[in-house]
């Protein structure tokens, strides 16, 4: 199994440690793990040039960074996104990462390989904001077509992993055991959720009937999705 971890912070503290706890429960020596850290691995803001939408993602001025991340994600079976909660939302660097993948939303050119992937989003806060933070990332993953995404948020009442109480760490460990079981089952039978399939069919109808951006319509046609082909079969 190929695992990719994308961390929305350079800090290896609560959020990262919970992410690693999950990954370590799921992988063995024969699996591969690639870890990315933001903003180190994508240190540029989306500049809004629209080139990914109107021409190709390969013309993105930051393609030297995104090409590496994209290849790793496309080759992964399991994706883990981690972010600390910053003012009730995902970290700025994670948002910047997501902005670079606007072209992969189903309204544009989703990658067919996403539909059988499993993802987990992990966020931690001192107190609150995990729900809105996880949604920031889940919106993108659902619209990219990621088959199934499990969000996990935890209020850790701390600003570092050392500061998290043992009682909380025990609780987190139990939560992550249960999450690991769900992920393992899903990876053994990967398929898109009803929500993801529904978005696909709505976007397919839109490409067929409206088709306002030629590169997107051409792409859907080339995949065969406007005919009988489906990305998850
Ligand atoms: C800029 C900034 C904004 C934050 N905003 C919130 C917040 O809205 N709600 C909250 O409960 N904690 C907030 N925190 C606390 C962190 O989310 C919390 O300590 C988290 O566990 C840090 O993750 P890390 O240890 O992996 O870096 C904020 C911290 C920073 C640095």
For the stretch 180-209, pLDDT in tens is: 999 999 999 999 999 999 999 999 999 999
∠ CA 120-123-128, nearest 5°, is 140
Pocket probe mutation, ligand 1, options 86, 92, 160, max atoms within 8 Å of Cβ: 86
Tally of CB atoms within 10 A around 25: 15
Output DSSP code: residue 115. G
For the chain, give the percent of residues with pLDDT over 90. Answer: 99
Q: How confident is the model at residue 124 (pLDDT cuts 50, 70, 90)?
A: very high
For the chain, give the percent of residues with pLDDT over 70. Answer: 100
Average pLDDT rounded to a whole number, residues 22-32: 97
Q: How confident is the model at residue 212 (pLDDT cuts 50, 70, 90)?
A: confident
Tally of CB atoms within 10 A around 177: 12
Q: In the chain, how many domains are there? A: 1
Pocket probe mutation, ligand 1, options 136, 159, 169, max atoms within 8 Å of Cβ: 159
Does residue 25 register a pLDDT over 90? yes
Question: Is 227 within the bounds of a domain?
Answer: no
Residue 211's pLDDT is what? 85
First to last CA, the chain: 20
125 lines ligand 1 (CB under 6 A): yes
Q: Identify the domain containing residue 89 by its residue range.
A: 2-192
Question: Is 11 within the bounds of a domain?
Answer: yes
Question: Is 162 within the bounds of a domain?
Answer: yes
Q: What are phi and psi of 218, to 5 degrees?
A: -60, -40
Q: Residue for token digits 């030629």? A: 214
pLDDT digits (tens, 9 = 90+) for 32-84: 999 999 999 999 999 999 999 999 999 999 999 999 999 999 999 999 999 99
Question: Is 57 within the bounds of a domain?
Answer: yes
Give the C-alpha separation, 160 to 164, whole Å: 7
SS3 28: coil
Question: Is 122 within the bounds of a domain?
Answer: yes
Q: What is the CATH number of the domain that holds 119?
A: 3.40.50.360
């Amino acid at each position: 199994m190929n695992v990719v971890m994308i961390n929305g912070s350079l800090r290896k503290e609560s959020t990262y440690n919970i992410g690693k706890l999950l990954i370590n429960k799921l992988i063995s020596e024969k699996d591969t793990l690639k870890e990315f850290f933001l903003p180190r691995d994508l240190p540029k803001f989306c500049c809004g040039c629209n080139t990914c939408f109107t021409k190709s993602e390969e013309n993105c001025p930051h393609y030297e960074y995104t090409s590496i991340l994209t290849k790793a994600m496309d080759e992964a079976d399991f994706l883990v996104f981690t972010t600390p909660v910053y003012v009730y939302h995902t970290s700025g660097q994670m948002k910047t990462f997501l902005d670079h993948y606007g072209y992969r939303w189903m309204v544009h050119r989703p990658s067919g390989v996403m539909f059988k992937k499993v993802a987990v989003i992990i966020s931690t806060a001192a107190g609150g904001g995990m729900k809105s933070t996880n949604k920031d990332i889940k919106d993108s993953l659902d619209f990219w077509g990621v088959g199934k995404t499990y969000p996990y948020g935890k209020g850790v009442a701390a600003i570092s992993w050392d500061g998290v109480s043992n009682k909380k760490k025990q609780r987190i460990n139990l939560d992550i055991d249960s999450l690991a079981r769900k992920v393992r089952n899903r990876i053994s039978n990967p398929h898109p959720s009803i929500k993801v399939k529904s978005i696909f069919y709505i976007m397919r109808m839109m490409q067929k009937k409206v088709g306002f951006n030629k590169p997107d319509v051409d792409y859907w046609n080339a995949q065969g999705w406007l005919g009988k082909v489906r990305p998850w079969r």
